[in-house]
A = this chain, B = another copy of it.
Amino acid sequence: MTAAGDQMYALVERMYPLCRSITGDGVRATLDIVGEYIPLQVHEVPTGTQVLDWTVPQEWNIRDAYIADPAGNRVVDFAASSLHVLGYSVPVSRTMPLSELRGHLHTLPDHPSWVPYRTSYYKPEWGFCLAQETLDAMPDGEYEVRIDSTLADGHLTYAEHVVPGQVPDEVIVSCHVCHPSLANDNLAGIAVATFLARALAEETPYYTYRFLFAPGTIGAITWLARNAERVNGVSPALGAPPCSKSLGEEPRAGGRVKHGVVLACAGDPGQLTYKQSRRGDAEIDRVMRHVLTASERPHRVNEFTPYGYDERQFCSPGFNLGVGSLTRTPYAGYPEYHTSADNLDFVSPEAMADTLAVCREAFAVLDRNRQYLNLSPYGEPQLGRRGLYDALGGRSDTKQAQMAMLWVLNLSDGEHSLLDVAERSGLPFDTVAAAADALHGAGLIKA
């Protein structure tokens, strides 16, 4: 696992310098790197495409940007950090006094040495982000301001990677790829998703796992628009929700997407945090709570809020998917969030390895969780003659494996899953699942 941690950290290092945004070549370059680890299907969606309530915007690309002081020194330079330019800045090439320039400058007075991350995707604007210290040192005078960017019809880019399972039902793992040089948010999430996909591919999982690398909000909305039938079983283009009564309350029987996790902030030193889906009791919510508790890791489980990452879209009331979000310190919960301090020192191989391990444990439970039906529900079946029960009676130290079989038999009534059995019995999920395998092998239960 340390090996995986180091490999994930190396991947983060490679992606760190690139200037990502919700569109543009930075995203493509990032996906190229990820594609060296796992094969990706890359999608390009043209500017102007209607996606749910939104429209795919123009594509933004940037080559250079700087502010030069009256002496000609570049005091702010995009070449030093992709954070220095307001995301989606329109091009500018002017000279102006500092007093006028100030209206386009973003700083963090409370953290004078840090550079903030700011964007203006949907309102034409230009600007620079810089340290308050830098601004304080800038003398009055005329400044040369240049942003060599283009905002033009093009494409929005996202990618998918699918690990085929035994059944077509899908688990979505989604991470946003739109943030520039921020290590924890979300290069660590991308790295964990990548290595999770590699790990899953080494076995044939029960579910089909679909990994989604897409820009935040507009990317998830684009994917949902293009995959509505996969998600919902019906296309939202067909009109209003099929039944307003059940809107937002029922899982979508028709869709293939059964569960999902949004991965973000996966590498910081904080404890793991699982934010539940809107449903709160979706199977993924129960699995994540169980695994985090059973592993005895310090952790938090938070209620759903309609803010954060792309769980906002997956859990909108029309979809209402069982999709939660796994982070370490959650969204906006650390001072380094959306600043230059979210750098390569802020994330660690150990933290990413720990996030990866919990994902693997959770998917191992999710993959094996089933409802069985006891085929011999009247009284206990005689386990002894099937070789499943100790012959010597009277002892009080009944083995956990036997207890797990009795629990599985007792609760396999068509209403309880193995996770229910584990939680009600207090037995480890692995023991319960092994008992179910033994009973299934003996023909005493059926799936």
A414 in the interface, Cβ–Cβ < 8 Å? Answer: yes
Say which residue of B117, B393, B409 sits within 8 Å of A306 (CB atoms).
B409
| Inter-subunit contact B318/A378 (CB<8 Å) | yes
Our pick among B117, B249, B377, B413 for the contact of A394 (Cβ within 8 Å) is: B117
Flag whether A253 is at the interface (Cβ < 8 A): no
- Counting CB contacts under 8 A, is A411 at the interface? yes
B248–A122 touching, CB < 8 Å: no
Give the chain B neighbours of A116 by CB distance below 8 A: 394
Decide if B118 touches A410 in the complex (CB within 8 Å).
no
**Do residues A394 and B316 form an inter-chain contact, with CB atoms below 8 A?**
no
Whole-angstrom CA separation of A220 from B118 in the bound complex: 64
Given the complex of chains A and B, what is the CA–CA distance between A396 and B117 in angstroms?
A: 10
Q: Which residues of B are found within 8 Å of A240, using beta-carbon distances?
A: 375
Instruction: Categorize the interface residue count of chain A.
Output: 35 or more
Among listed A34-42, A268-276, A307-315, interface-contacting one: A307-315
Query: Is A224 interfacial (CB 8 A cutoff)?
Result: yes
A410, B306: Cβ atoms under 8 Å?
A: yes
Q: Which residues of chain A in 137-169 are interfacial with respect to chain B, using CB atoms and an 8 Å cutoff? A: none
Q: A: which residues have CB within 8 A of B?
A: 52-54, 87, 116-123, 125, 217, 220-221, 224-225, 228, 236, 240-241, 244-245, 247-249, 278, 303, 305-307, 312-313, 315-320, 332, 337-338, 373-382, 384-385, 391-396, 398, 403, 406-407, 409-415, 424-425
6 CB < 8 A contacts A-B: A53-B380, A54-B382, A221-B380, A247-B415, A307-B403, A317-B412
